[in-house]
Amino acid sequence: MLTLPSDVWAMLIFSVLVFFGVSLFALVYSLLQEEEKMEILQSENTVDTYSPRALRDLKSWIRAHPGDPDVSRAQEAYRDCVDALQTTNRHVYTWTPEEIEGLDSL
């Protein structure tokens, strides 16, 4: 057993948890997420691409920037997500049926 002052132990454990812990968690989470998306894609042929909050942000941006050169791209991304939500049963993000029903197609 290494003999280290308590503050060195504390910093060592903190560093291991924060750096290794977060990177390992991010790696595993990311790979599991890919697997889940693959499964949904295989069963539903499409996936929802935005979380409820992210889709609200996208919609607000589209409404606020009607003349932006990229607005059609944003609209397409919005519609793709809404279509996926309305035509599939399994979703990547947590959407309630009420939230999905309340979505408009711009």
Partner 1 sequence: MSDTDVELSRAQWGSRFGFLMAMLGAMVGAGNIWRFPYITGEQGGGAFILAYLALLLILAIPGLIAEVALGRYTGRGVIGAFREMVDRRGLVGLGVVVLLVNVMLMSYYSPVVGWTLYYAVHSLLFTFSAPGFDPEAFWSAFQASTALNIGMHTLVMAFVAGVLYFGIRRGIERLVIYAVPGLILALLAITIRALTLPGAADGLIFTFDVDWGALARGETWVTALGQALFSTGLGWGIALTIGSYLPEYDDIPIGGGIFTVMGNSSVGILAAFAIFPIVFAFDVDPASGSQLTFVSLPQVFPQMAGGGLWALIFFVGFFLATFTSAVLITEVSVTTLNEETQWSREQTVFGVCAIIWLVGLASAHPNGYLGFLDFVFGNFGLPLAALAIIGTIGWSLSPEKLRVIEVNRNAGIYIGPRWNVIVRYVIPVVMVFILGNYAWSSFGSPRMIAGVGVLVAFPLFGYLLMQVLEANPTPRSP
Question: Whose Cβ is closer to partner 1: residue 8's or residue 106's?
Answer: 8
Tokens 């409820």 -> residue: 52
DSSP 1-34: -----HHHHHHHHHHIIIIIIHHHHHHHHHHHHH
Question: Whose Cβ is closer to partner 1: residue 77's or residue 100's?
Answer: 77
The answer to the question of residue 70 lying near partner 1 (CB under 8 A) is yes
Q: CA angle, corner 83, sides to 47 and 36, nearest 5?
A: 10
Region binding partner 1 by CB under 8 A among candidate stretches 69-77, 83-91, 95-103: 69-77
Region of 45 on the Ramachandran plot (φ > 0 left; ψ -120 to 50 alpha; else beta): left
**Is the CB of residue 44 less than 8 Å from the CB of residue 89?**
yes
The answer to the question of residue 5 lying near partner 1 (CB under 8 A) is yes
Q: Pick out residues in 71-100 that bind partner 1 (CB under 8 A).
A: 73-74, 77, 92
Residue numbers at the binding site for partner 1 (CB under 8 A): 2-5, 7-8, 10-12, 14-16, 18-20, 22-23, 26-27, 29-31, 33-34, 37-38, 41-42, 45, 47, 49-51, 53-54, 57-58, 60-61, 65, 68, 70, 73-74, 77, 92
